[in-house]
Structure 1
Amino acid sequence: MLANEKLFHTASTVPHRTMELVKLRASQINGCGFCTDMHFKDAVHAGDDPERLNLVPVWREAPAFDDAERAALALAEESARLADNPHGVSDETWEAVRKHYDDEQIAALVAMCAQINAWNRVNVILRTPAGFYDPATKTARYRELQK
């Protein structure tokens, strides 16, 4: 999964900022504290605005996101909430995604949605604690802090 993560960020033309929004929103929905902390910090480290990131849970009501980001956020939400829609992602969301992204970008977004949902489950199952991720080193510091 780590190799895929690197590939998404190096081979895809989806903006890094958008990918972080996708990962952050799915992590919030899935209740993964570690991943929520990680992707908030990674987004800030990459230059995104913390105030804007605080609006991710209410992106529909917030003017801080452009239409392409909104399409990606809708895809992230619907991919994380499969039980809410027996048909998967809605036609409306697919229409918005297709309007803003080409086939390669859609493939990257879909793969990222699947990947972050898998990472969320791994970290929730393992009870990985939140709050200790360091974006500068891409590592969790919790082991050294537990001493």
Structure 2
Amino acid sequence: MSLRFNYRAANEPAYQAMRAMEAHISQSGVDKVLYELIKIRVSQINGCSFCLDMHAKDLMKLGDHADRILLIGLWREVPIFTDKEKAVLELAEHVTNISQVGVPQPVYENVRAYFDEKEYIDLIVSINTINSWNRIAIATGMFPAASRNCGFGERGS
């Protein structure tokens, strides 16, 4: 894969709109570790190497999460994720693959056992934001280290 172009330079207003979504999430109270887990799982599903690499490194900066990064694709089968995290990861999978079965009522109810309506919407916005970043990165040819090599500065998103 090769970088097609610098999307920031091509359309700064669109980039700023995405940054506004990130700003909303950071002010919403969504747990930082939980948000990085969402970003990693969604990036795996979407096949976004750039975002997967970035957010795995970001999660490591928040503590020793190597096992969680390595096993997140098997979150249902390992005991290192809390029930709350599992509820959110299941929601993230369903929202990312929304055309398959939507968000089934049991998935919704499981998440709502841990989060109120406002928090639920913040989670949906979080999931949608990383899905959007993934689609921008994939469509413009982003790959790990692309941001350093093509005028993005330190981070591509």
Alignment gaps of 5+ in structure 1: 134-139
Q: 2:148 maps to which residue?
A: 141
1:91 is displaced (CA, Å) by 1.0
Q: Counterparts in 2 of 1:48-67, with a 5 A limit?
A: 48-67=64-83
Task: Please give the secondary structure, in 2, of the residue aligned with 1:100.
Answer: coil
Matched residue count: 134
Deviation at 1:109, TM superposition (A): 0.3
Question: Which position in structure 2 is the counterpart of 1:32?
Answer: 48
Secondary structure of the residue aligned to 1:55 is helix
- Normalization by structure 2: what TM-score? 0.80
Unmatched segments (≥5 aa) in structure 2: 1-17, 152-157
Map Cα deviations across residues 96-131 of structure 1 (whole Å, 9 max, x no partner).
11001122211110001111111111111111012x
Return the alpha-carbon distance in structure 2 between the equivalents of residues 118 and 94 of structure 1.
22
Residue 73 to residue 25, structure 1, CA distance change in 2 (3 Å): same
Partner of 2:13: none
Question: Alignment partner of 1:54: what SS?
Answer: helix
Q: 3-state DSSP class of the match of 2:113?
A: helix
CA apart distance, 1:89: 0.8
- The aligned amino acid for 1:125 is A
Deviation at 1:49, TM superposition (A): 1.1
Residue number among 104, 122, 140 corresponding to 1:108 in the alignment: 122
% same residue: 38
State the Cα distance separating 1:24 from its structure 2 match. 0.8
Q: Which letter does structure 2 place at the counterpart of 1:126?
A: T
Please name the residue that 1:79 is paired with.
95
Q: Tell me the TM-score normalized by structure 1.
A: 0.85
RMSD (Å), alpha carbons: 1.5
Partner Cα separation in structure 2 for residue 83 and residue 8 of structure 1: 24
Aligned-partner SS, 1:118: helix
Q: Which of structures 1 and 2 has the larger relative contact order (alpha carbons within 8 angstroms, sep 6+)?
A: 2
Counterpart residue type for residue 110 of structure 1 = I
Q: Which amino acid in the other structure matches residue 90 of structure 1?
A: P
